[in-house]
Chains A and B, each alone.
Chain A
Amino acid sequence: MPVNSKPYLYAIAFLLVTFGLYNYVVYTTESYIAVEKLSPQAVKGQQLFQSNRCWSCHQLYGLGGYLGPDLTNVFSDEKKGPLYIKAFLNSGVKSMPQFNFNEEEKEAIVAYLKQVDETGIYPNYDAKIEATGWVKLKYRNE
């Protein structure tokens, strides 16, 4: 039994237009938290983070691999911070590979993690669970 496709084509066209507008807005609106754009040094840090596949073990905002700890706020953690991060990088502790970063590269990674840290908090304990199932988080700008 052949299908009358016309109504379905209209439905697809409608969805595609909505999707186009939606994408446009998602791609162009400012982030919820006003933060500075990544500095050239932080971009270099991000490149190192990618080319050494730090993401395969570490998470940012809980997204990534689970073999190592989340790094979203390691920069501002009172017990951790920049020196602690640098100490870890070439330590080869546990499953973490033994990297050979020079001082400049270590600085770049720290600069990246610093800017990531400024965007928000994870895990965020300042959370209110609402009756609708929504979770109201307190952000850095509130």
Chain B
Amino acid sequence: MNSKMPIYFLVFAIISLVLGMCFGMTASFQYVMPEFLKDYFPFSKLRPFHATSVIAWIILAATGSIYFFLTYVEKFKLFSPVLGKLHFIIFLLTGTAIYYSYTFDYTEGREYFAFPSFLMIPILIGWILFGINYFKTLYQNMRGWPVYYWMWGTGIAFMTYHLMEAHFWLFDFFRLDFIKDFSVQWKSTGSFTGSWNMLVYGISIYLMSKIKSDTNVATNKVAFFFYFLGLTNLMFGWAHHTYLVPTQPWIRYVAYGISMTEWIVLASIIYNWKRSVLKVEKENHPMAYRFLLATDLWVFLNIILALLFSIPAINYFTHGTHITVAHSMGTTIGINTTILFSALFFIIHHLYPQYNTDRKWVKRGFIAFNISLFLFCASLFAAGVKRSYWMYVTKVGAFSEMEESMVIYYISFFIFGIGIFISLVTVVFPIFKMLLLKLKPGK
């Protein structure tokens, strides 16, 4: 019998997602009414809760899916089920400790890692255990890996490295040199995102190859070309986040050059669009398939946005505005979350082949989700344009006046945030119920 460990990861991933959205909605309300609740739950308290929870959603869901694919679908014997369990327990305890530290304001860390830095140690141990288990398992079972195995391995290795890099500031060698420290901080957060993207995009290729029953998508030379392109961007492209920070100019030249290689990705998406959509066998996986279609659309929109503002001349105006937030919401929700939902539906089908996921409310939720997300990002985009106009064109008026003039966009951002919440909960509820059923003792 298979271990329940992957299911535990998935169940806690969904819990993190729902909690994270609740924190996010409460926090975003402060954009609408800045003084509301601020004595009890200031924005600065809610934001780390929100960011950590939604990142935990992506990471736990990706980890759980990978463990699931390896053990349930590919039927590999895990190198060590005990290490797998330990990995889960360490993450669960550390997550609890992080929530505790946020509640009682032990937040000496930095953006995205606000918790006390020593909590990084168990997180790193968790990743190392995952790495050992992953490479040992595949080493015993596979020769000639399809591209997704490379991507997952890369994701695990780089995740471990960049989580460490995000804490280099603890050393005076970095900390005392503000510009170096600051750019290494944003290097690490950029590449941290790149590392989980390796895990999640690997999952999307895995799903495509399974849903289409076509292994070629994951073994052909083109797939590997894009893997290497992505890896090069992960390593050297981060500095497009810091074009306006006075780092050595060559770092930024390199990042500009590397970032522009993503045009190839865009060209290939457009070129392959029809072909990839038509070949799918969707009968068995209607919802997994729909979510991957949504991924396609969001990749397309986001890559155009990302390419444009990786050009320094455009970045100059968009940097430091909500346009950046529109992009990060578009990618984490539009791309990462749709892929992970596709994975969840695929997993449910694997666990319960008879269970029909193609239900009326699930489909409605799916449509409402995409519409809400579009309007959510559009509100942020509009707010960003307005802020940029204030920063670079009119340059007059106090910050508070500018903020007040944007309230209308914040209201719509808040409302469509609720829309995303309701629609995702509608979609995820049946999945969650079925996963819980598997955790019952004796099942």
Chain A positions near chain B (C-beta within 8 angstroms) = 1-5, 8, 11-12, 15, 18-19, 22, 26-27, 29-33, 35, 37-38, 43, 46-47, 50-57, 59-70, 94-95, 97-98, 115-116, 119-120, 122-125, 127, 129-130, 133-135, 137, 139-140
Contact = CB atoms under 8 A, between A and B. Distances in A.
B34 A94 contact: yes
A3 B219 contact: yes
Given A32-B248, A94-B34, A97-B38, A135 B316 contact: yes
Given A32-B248, A120-B179, 19 more contacts: A8-B150, A22-B236, A27-B168, A31-B179, A51-B105, A52-B107, A53-B48, A54-B44, A61-B182, A63-B242, A67-B30, A94-B400, A97-B42, A115-B178, A120-B246, A122-B244, A124-B244, A134-B253, A135-B315
B391 interface: yes
Q: What's the interface size class on B, roughly?
A: 35 or more
Contacts of A54: 44
Contact of A31 (B39, B108, B177): B177
B182 to A, nearest CB: 7
Contacts of B144: 2-5
B405 interface: no
B44 A97 contact: yes
A65 B215 contact: no
A54 B44 CA distance: 7
A1 B218 CA distance: 10
Given A11-B228, A15-B232, A129 B146 contact: no
B187 A62 contact: no
Interface string B148-177: 001000000000000000001000001111
B30 A123 contact: no
B316 A116 contact: no
B179 A134 contact: no
Contacts of B48: 53, 56
B176 A43 contact: yes
A60 B111 contact: no
Interface string B102-114: 0001011111001
